[in-house]
C-alpha cells in the first residue's frame, strides 16, 4: 500500500494538489476527473487511504455506503436523474492506475455493454 504522503489522491484530500471538488463530506470527497470520458466524470473517494473497493468495504464500510450515496447525488445534481455508471477498477490488470480507491461516476451519454 502506498504511503499517504506518496498517494496522489491523499494529496488532493489534504489540499496539497488542486482539484475541482464537487463534494466534501465527512468520509468522502468527490472531484472531476482530469481526463473526462463522459459529460459527467467525477471521482468519489474516501478521505482515508484504501487501495481497492474490497479493502474499503472491509475496513471502513460506512465510507463505502457514503461513497455510493454521493455518486447518486452527483448524478441528480448534474441533471441525469439518477442514471449513471459507477465503476471501480480494482487492480492494474483491469486498468487501476491510482491505488487509492475511487468510484468513477459516469453519466450524460450512452454506454456500451460489455465494457471494453
Which residues make up the interface to ligand DGP (CB under 6 A)? 8, 19, 31-35, 43, 89, 95-98
Q: How many CB atoms lie within 10 A of CB 44?
A: 26
Choose between 97 and 112: whose C-beta lies nearer to ligand DGP: 97
Least CB distance from residue 12 to ligand DGP, whole Å? 7
Three-class secondary structure of residue 99 per DSSP: coil
Distance CA 13, CA 3 (A): 14
Least CB distance from residue 40 to ligand DGP, whole Å? 13
Distance CA 111, CA 113 (A): 7
Q: How far from each other are the two terminal CA atoms of the chain, in whole angstroms?
A: 27
Choose between 33 and 48: whose C-beta lies nearer to ligand DGP: 33
Q: Can 104 be counted among the known catalytic residues? A: no
* C-alpha cell recorded at residue 28: 468522502
Choose between 78 and 81: whose C-beta lies nearer to ligand DGP: 78
Least CB distance from residue 72 to ligand DGP, whole Å? 19
Active site residues: 102
Amino acid at each position: 500500500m502506498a504511503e499517504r504522503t506518496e498517494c496522489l489522491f491523499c494529496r488532493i484530500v489534504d489540499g496539497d494538489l488542486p482539484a475541482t471538488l464537487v463534494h466534501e463530506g465527512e468520509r468522502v470527497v468527490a472531484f472531476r476527473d482530469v481526463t473526462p470520458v463522459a459529460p459527467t466524470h467525477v471521482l468519489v473517494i474516501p478521505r482515508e487511504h484504501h487501495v481497492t473497493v474490497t479493502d474499503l468495504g472491509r475496513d471502513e464500510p460506512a465510507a463505502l455506503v457514503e461513497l455510493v450515496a454521493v455518486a447518486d447525488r452527483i448524478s441528480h445534481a448534474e441533471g441525469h436523474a439518477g442514471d449513471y455508471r459507477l465503476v471501480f477498477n480494482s487492480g492494474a490488470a483491469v486498468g487501476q492506475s491510482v491505488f487509492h480507491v475511487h468510484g468513477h461516476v459516469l453519466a450524460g451519454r450512452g454506454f456500451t455493454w460489455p465494457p471494453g
